[in-house]
Amino acid sequence: MRLLWQLLAVAAVAFLGGQAAFAVQDNPWLTLALGLLTVVISVFVYRWVVRRTEKREVTELAWKGATAATSWGTLLGVGLFALVIANITFLGGYQVHGLGSPMSALGLVGFMGAAAVTEELMWRGVLFRIIEERAGTWISLGLTGLAFGLVHMANPHATLWGAIAIAIEAGGMLTAAYIATRSLWLPIGLHFGWNIAGSALFGTEVSGNGTPPGLLDATMSGHTLITGGGFGPEGSIYSVVFCVIATVVFMWIARRRGRIVPVRRRDARPATTAAPPR
């Protein structure tokens, strides 16, 4: 029941915020403002509903260290995506033609911020965390990662390979970042940094969504395995490789810190039981 209530609460904020931002997408300032408002409301709604349903402190969204963790995550996300673009550029798959639309990029900051926060709260904060309590870290990681990838099949230019890539990259790396820190702030920053680099900075397609113009006016051409095709660089083999490396590092850190949760086994039967009637 708590899973349902938590998902409904965060999903409702995500839906309303997304619809509002979409309705005013031609006004970058309003898109930015509504995106930031969605971020704030989502965080407070998550904290409130978890407190009400689980009767505990919401340590995964603790205020202490939130700014530092989110900032480092954002820098890491931008850096990883920049590595992907650098490798695609080296093979001639990414070409910059000039300045794109700075105002559109401004709106994308708000939109991608809202997407990163609401998706991390739903997928890592609610689904992964609660499933992990019963099934353990590895099973929950696999199940939620696969589901996260499949959900992206609904995107306009989605492909099966793109969904698999997302399952590996985001479903794996972002979840591993949460496992290593047991905080949602790092994966939120990582998710935001990756998306904002792909959309607002480098002007590429993000998950096949038909992303508005970014800061750079750029095009991509070449083999789909290298560029990701219509799905965007997230469908590039480079994205998969770099995100797998990051996932391995995060899981190594999680193991060192003793944060891998084993499969929960049923309680053993009591040693003494009442004698059956004769």
Predicted confidence (pLDDT) at residue 250 exceeds the cutoff of 70: yes
Mean pLDDT of 250-267: 88
In this predicted model, what pLDDT tens digit does every residue of 62-99 receive, in sequence order?
999 999 999 999 999 999 999 999 999 999 999 999 99
Predicted confidence (pLDDT) at residue 1 exceeds the cutoff of 70: no
Looking at residue 273, its pLDDT comes to 37
Predicted confidence (pLDDT) at residue 17 exceeds the cutoff of 80: no
Predicted confidence (pLDDT) at residue 144 exceeds the cutoff of 80: yes
The structural domains of the chain, with segments of one domain joined by +, span 2-256
Query: Which pTM was predicted?
Result: 0.90
Q: How far is CA 166 from CA 135, 161, 180, 253, in A?
A: 22, 9, 20, 22
Give the confidence band of 278 by pLDDT, cuts at 50, 70, 90. Answer: very low
Give the confidence band of 109 by pLDDT, cuts at 50, 70, 90. Answer: very high
Distance CA 3, CA 11 (A): 12
In this predicted model, what pLDDT tens digit does every residue of 162-195 receive, in sequence order?
889 999 999 999 999 999 999 999 999 999 999 9
Predicted confidence (pLDDT) at residue 14 exceeds the cutoff of 80: no
